[in-house]
Each structure stands twice: as C-alpha cells, then as structure tokens.
Amino acid sequence: MSALLELKDCRLTYPSNARNEADKLALAIDHLTIREGDRIALLGKSGAGKSTLLRHIRHQLADRASWCPQDASLVPQLKVFHNIYSGALDRHSGFVNLTNLLLPSSHFEAEITALAEPLGISELLWTKADELSGGQQQRVAIARALYQQKPILLADEPVSALDKLQGREILELLVSRHDTSVIAMHNAQLALTVCNRVIGLKDQKLFLDCPVDQLSADSIGQLYQ
Ligand SMILES: Nc1ncnc2c1ncn2[C@@H]1O[C@H](COP(=O)(O)OP(=O)(O)OP(=O)(O)O)[C@@H](O)[C@H]1O
C-alpha cells in the first residue's frame, strides 16, 4: 500500500494563555505513516490529542480529504439541503452555487436526496439546521462529508450522538465510501468493528499502532488507564 502521509518528529503545540510563556505541547509523534487503504480507529482518553492529530493530518492532506468535525458545524440558518450541498462548493462555479442557494436545481436535489436516504434524513432536506436534534445534525454533517466526494475521510467522533445500531451502520457506510479513513472515536468497541488499524494516543504520545486483528485486550486496557 502506498504511503499517503508520513509524519516524522512531529510536535503539535498550542499557544499558552500566559504572556511570554512558550507554546504548550499537545502531541509529539516520532514516526507515523498513513497508507492508502488504512481504516484507522484513532483512540485515547479525552484530551489525549486525537482532534489535534486529525487537524494536523487534515492540514497536510489539504483538498484530498473529506472532513467530518466533532461539533457538526452546520450553518444554523440554512436548510439541511444547503448544509449538505456546501460540501461541494469547490466543485462548482460561484454562479452555480449562488443559483442553487436561491433555487435548488432538480439535479442537485436528486443527488442529495439519494445521499440522505440511507442516513434517514431525506425527509428533512427543507428543515433549517437549527431545528434539528443533535443526532439529526450529526447525520447532516456526515452527508456533507460524503458529498465532498474525496478519497480520504477524516472524522472526529462522527457517530457519538447516534444509537448503537444506527452508529454502526452509518460508520460502515462512511468507511465504505472512502478509500482511506481516519476516525477518532470514544467508543473503542464500535471503532474496532469497522477499522483495520488502531492508533492509540496516551500522555501526548503515540502509545500503540497495530492492525486491529493483532490488538490485545491488555493494550487497549493500558491505553485507557
Ligand atoms: N487551543 C488550545 N488551548 C488549550 N489547550 C489545548 C488547545 N489545543 C489543544 N489543547 C490541549 O491539547 C490536548 C489535546 O487536545 P485534543 O482536543 O486534541 O484531545 P482529544 O483527544 O481530541 O480530546 P476529546 O476526546 O475530549 O475530544 C488537551 O490537553 C487540550 O487541553
């Protein structure tokens, strides 16, 4: 499998609140390679650095990756249709985007309806985003990520607001529509059912990196100690 991204001696920091104090370390990675075909479960306790790493990977991969953020980040005043459509703004001209905002074309409506159906949100296309439940908002964010139609998926807790069965089905759908995925999850058990590689972060470092079928219960236990 070819390497998509290689990180070496990578130190990710954030600015200190105190004046004249050096930046603080969020995560230090000595070496990490992401390969085409990887379906990576990014695990670790809260604050371990999962979002920090995802943001860095996103920055490195630029427009090759679809992005599904932790907080959905929908535009509250816009309808579900437009929020999903916004995943494709860079594929179309300004004229097409503006026209579609005012008067959605049947072509785009059909595309987005087809995308929304397996996510159970096709009945909500003309509802404003701020009228949705948390789980509905999360599914709209997933649809927007799918509509980006990029080969790589970067997702931060994409199914945290969904029930167990729906979360698993939608996670499988997300992974099946991308060649490569990196997904930060708190629910390790669910992540490991759809991923083939696990990256565990602990104490601001890479703690484990191995294929899911070689993962021991002991190492997962240590990751969360
Ligand atoms: N801008 C910032 N200001 C203050 N602290 C930050 C900032 N960015 C990152 N950190 C710190 O860096 C560490 C890693 O944060 P990050 O959000 O990546 O963790 P996480 O594993 O994604 O957590 P969670 O699972 O709770 O989302 C945390 O200790 C966090 O407090």
SS3 letters for 92-136?
Answer: CCHHHHHHHHHCCCHHHHHHHHHHHHHHCCHHHCCCEHHHCCHHH
Out of 3.40.50.300, 3.10.450.50, 2.40.30.10, 3.40.50.12170, the CATH code matching 3-223 is 3.40.50.300
| Res. 78: pLDDT tops 80 | yes
Q: Is the CB of 203 under 6 A from ligand 1?
A: no
As a whole number, mean pLDDT of residues 101-129 equals 95
Which residues are bridge partners to 28 per DSSP?
11, 205
C-alpha–C-alpha distance, residues 128 and 80, integer Å: 6
Beta carbons of 58 and 68 less than 8 angstroms apart:
no
Residue 170, number of CB atoms within 10 A of its CB: 19
| Predicted pLDDT at 18 | 85
Q: What is the pLDDT of residues 30-49, one digit of tens each?
A: 999 999 999 999 999 999 99
Write out pLDDT tens, residues 171-216. Answer: 999 999 999 999 999 999 999 999 999 999 999 999 999 999 999 9
Mutate to test the pocket of ligand 1, among 10, 14, 29, 223 (most ligand atoms within 8 A of CB): 14
Query: Does the pLDDT value for residue 1 go beyond 80?
Result: no
| Local confidence band at 116 (pLDDT 50, 70, 90 cut-offs) | very high
Q: Report whether residue 17 contacts ligand 1, using a CB cutoff of 6 Å.
A: no
The pLDDT value recorded for residue 16 is 87
Give me the residue spans of the domains in the chain. Answer: 3-223
Q: Kindly state the percentage of the chain with pLDDT values over 90.
A: 92
Is the CB of 44 inside a 6 Å radius of any atom of ligand 1? yes
Per-residue pLDDT, 151: 96
* Residue of 94, 90, 147, 86 lying closest to 116 (CA atoms): 147
Q: What is the pLDDT of residues 57-77, one digit of tens each?
A: 999 998 899 999 999 999 999
Please tell me the predicted confidence (pLDDT) of residue 192: 93
Torsion angle defined by CA atoms of residues 167, 173, 176 and 177, in that order, rounded to the nearest 10 degrees:
-130
For 143-158, the pLDDT digits (tens) are: 999 999 999 999 999 9
